[in-house]
Amino acid sequence: MITVMNSLTDGINKMALAQADVLAGLKEIVEEVAGIPAASIEMDKNFTEDLEVDSLSMVEVVVAAEERFGIKIPDEAVTDLITVGDAVNFIVNAAK
């Protein structure tokens, strides 16, 4: 029972760490591409409404994220990336 709990806890910690790493990387990308201070970029922020990332900058963010994290974000999925959290979760799941 303890081994199962330790394995479960380890898995949760790894996922949380992976999510934090992706968020940190995405903050760097958005700051570089769109000039938005990393401190303003949080999981619940909307790319267009809160961060004012335009469509061209969003394409640049997607390309940079694909390169940095070694994943592919299909064009049809980009429209579903409304918030920073949406993008982080997509990247974490795509990297599994």
Alpha carbons 2 and 7: distance in angstroms, whole number: 9
pLDDT at 48: 96
CATH of the domain at 72: 1.10.1200.10
Q: How many C-beta atoms lie closer than 10 Å to residue 4's C-beta?
A: 8
Q: Is the pLDDT of residue 12 over 50?
A: no
What is the pLDDT averaged over residues 46-53?
97
Packing angle between helix 84-94 and helix 2-34, nearest 10 degrees?
Answer: 120
pTM above 0.85?
A: no
Q: Among positive and negative, which fits the CA dihedral 20, 21, 26, 28?
A: positive
Identity of the residue numbered 72? K
CA distance 21 to 40: 17
Range of the domain at 68: 2-94
Query: Count of domains in the chain?
Result: 1
